[in-house]
């Protein structure tokens, strides 16, 4: 495993970090956690050099933190740094700061949190964070030794807001979305470089765009990749592109299978800054251009939209189907699946826009649901509306 030095602390970070948001689910509960397999995967990663595990208060409604705690028993906890997040999207009163922190510490069974973040920082939540002095709370807890490093995960729309937040407090690290499709999205490469210029460690999330750069690859993209002398898997292309940026400290991957763990470890064990040639960087730029032509909606299937949806519509699944229809020109297939296999289809949308308030990708979800209803729902299947 490659390691990079945290510019703030001097700590050695494994280049690959284990993201515990997409843990494997048991066969009989797609929304749950296969605890045994998750523990096996995390311990395998630690045994092979991974020393940074990222979770959050909200992941699996606490189940992720609890599963991480179990994986880190038997001495594994001494080998890793654990990051978790204060849910700013649920923050209403200043007194809740301590409650959220205490709950995470209890779930994780740790005396202190190595890396503690304000979760989901964006335009909607920044005023609340300022009003309730959330940054001051983190600074205080760091002084008390309850947390060791403080930071924030950024989901805002602009570099300007990112810069404002970064300059607001003495942060030790930030978490940014960054991949070859999102080089200029949210904080983007400008934010990456600005954070590094201030000596702030940068943790990357969504390096493979929630798996979108590795699964259901359009035939046109595969043919394009195969046409080059340099042969790499889609995951290899994506992770190496992120790793090639020297400002990156750790790359989080939300892994769901042991095969993903082993592949990512292999890739990032010999990837480093400057690991791609100019020709390879050109190839990736051309791949990104091809993708831009095919994917109508840049959903990463994070699930925040479904979590806040009062009708519990399967929004990420539906948007994924819409993207698949465009990429593979299989609109009839998707029409059948949405009309016959989705329990709560797009027509359940009441246009409340709660999903849009939490979407890290800033998608106009209600409009997408209307589009999918018109394109793919069979109006003869009215009985679906009986489900509430």
What averages of pLDDT result for each successive group of 10 residues across the chain (388 residues)? 92 96 87 92 97 95 95 95 95 95 96 95 92 97 97 92 96 95 89 96 93 80 83 90 96 94 94 85 87 84 85 89 79 82 86 92 93 82 42
Instruction: Scan for tokens 């989705």, then name that residue.
Output: 342
Alpha carbon distance 360, 373 (integer Å): 23
In this structure, are 323 and 276 located in the same domain? Answer: no
Q: Are residues 166 and 86 in the same domain?
A: yes
Residue 146 exposed, middle or buried by CB count within 10 Å (0-12, 13-18, 19+): middle
**Is the domain of 78 the same as that of 221?**
yes
Query: What is the domain count for the chain?
Result: 2
- Looking at the structure, do residues 107 and 231 belong to the same domain, yes or no? yes
Domain span at residue 41 reads 3-293
C-alpha 311/C-alpha 354 separation (Å) is: 11
Q: Are residues 69 and 133 in the same domain?
A: yes
Whole-number pLDDT of residue 201: 97
- Domain boundary (293, 320, 353) is at 293
Do 66 and 90 belong to one domain? yes
Which pLDDT does position 156 carry in this prediction? 87
Are 15 and 92 found together in one domain? yes
Burial 58-84 (b: 16+ CB within 10 A, else e): bbbebbbbbbbbebbeeebbeebbbbb
Q: What is the pLDDT of residue 74?
A: 94
In a domain, 117, yes or no: yes
Q: Are 360 and 245 contained in the same domain?
A: no
């Amino acid at each position: 495993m490659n390691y990079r030095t945290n510019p703030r602390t001097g700590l050695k970070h494994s280049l690959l970090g284990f993201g515990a948001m997409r843990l494997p689910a048991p066969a009989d509960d797609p929304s749950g956690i296969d605890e045994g397999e998750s523990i096996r995967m995390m311990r395998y990663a630690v045994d092979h050099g991974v020393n940074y595990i990222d979770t959050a208060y909200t992941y699996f409604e606490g189940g992720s933190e609890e599963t991480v705690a179990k994986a880190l028993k038997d001495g594994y906890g001494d080998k890793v740094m654990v990051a978790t997040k204060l849910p700013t999207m649920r923050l209403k009163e200043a007194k809740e700061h301590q409650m959220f922190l205490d709950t995470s510490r209890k779930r994780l069974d740790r005396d202190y949190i190595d890396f503690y973040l304000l979760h989901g920082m964006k335009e909607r939540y920044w005023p609340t964070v300022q009003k309730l002095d959330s940054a001051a709370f983190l600074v205080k807890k760091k002084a008390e030794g309850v947390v060791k490093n403080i930071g924030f995960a950024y989901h805002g729309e602009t570099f300007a807001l990112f810069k404002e937040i970064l300059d607001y407090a003495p942060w030790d690290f930030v978490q940014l979305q960054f991949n070859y499709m999102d080089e200029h999205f949210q904080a983007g490469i400008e934010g990456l470089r600005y954070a590094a210029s201030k000596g702030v460690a940068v943790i990357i999330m969504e390096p493979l765009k929630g798996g979108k750069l590795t699964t259901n690859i359009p035939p046109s993209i595969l043919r394009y990749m195969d046409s080059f002398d340099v042969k790499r898997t889609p995951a290899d292309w994506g992770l190496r592109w992120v790793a090639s940026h020297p400002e990156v400290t750790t790359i989080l991957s939300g892994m769901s299978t042991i095969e993903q763990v082993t592949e990512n470890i292999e890739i990032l064990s010999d990837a480093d800054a400057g690991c791609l040639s100019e020709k390879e960087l050109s190839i990736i730029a051309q791949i990104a251009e091809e993708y831009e032509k095919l994917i109508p909606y840049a959903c990463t299937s994070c699930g925040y939209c479904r979590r806040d949806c009062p009708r519990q519509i399967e929004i990420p699944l539906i948007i994924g189907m819409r993207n698949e229809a465009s990429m593979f020109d299989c609109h009839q297939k998707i029409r059948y699946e949405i009309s016959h296999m989705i329990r709560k289809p797009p027509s359940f949308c009441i246009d409340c826009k709660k999903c849009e308030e939490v979407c890290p990708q800033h998608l106009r979800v209600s409009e997408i649901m209307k589009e999918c209803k018109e394109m793919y729902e069979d109006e003869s299947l009215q009985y679906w509306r009986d489900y509430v």
